[in-house]
Amino acid sequence: QVQLVESGGGLVQAGGSLRLSCAASGTIFSINAMGWFRQAPGKEREFVSAVKWRGGSTLYADSVKGRFAISRDNAKNTVNLQMNSLKAEDTAVYFCAADFAFSGLPRIPSQYEEWGQGTQVTVSS
């Protein structure tokens, strides 16, 4: 139905910035929300941020509030994650996900139906 492809990951110095992008293709009209998750080796997948596709309302994890900003461009079928003031603790594989069934802004991985392949973000300290 929907395919997601992340890009923009890389190596950055602590305190620096990085911008991730997620390109969606397929049945875009059915998307309720788009979310970003991250997972470090040996750790559980962690919610980062989410945005409603139509209304644009956003949700952030406490650990990234004030540092990260999520945005979406419905016309271009993309969602972005601007990451500022990066810390070593932000190092992880970042995944883009799409939800079709939830009515609000889901923050649990199981509430999302489609996932991208992930992009590595490494922050040097």
Q: Quick check: 1 pLDDT over 90?
A: no
Would you tell me how many other CB atoms lie within 10 Å of the CB of residue 122? 15
DSSP 69-110: EEEEETTTTEEEEEE-S--GGG-EEEEEEEESS-SS---SGG
Q: Using alpha carbons only, how large is the chain's radius of gyration in Å?
A: 13
Contact 36, 14 (CB under 8 A): no
Q: What is the pLDDT of residues 36-95, one digit of tens each?
A: 999 999 999 999 999 999 999 999 999 999 999 999 998 999 999 999 999 999 999 999
Contact 38, 56 (CB under 8 A): no
Residue 43 pLDDT: 97
Contact 82, 69 (CB under 8 A): yes
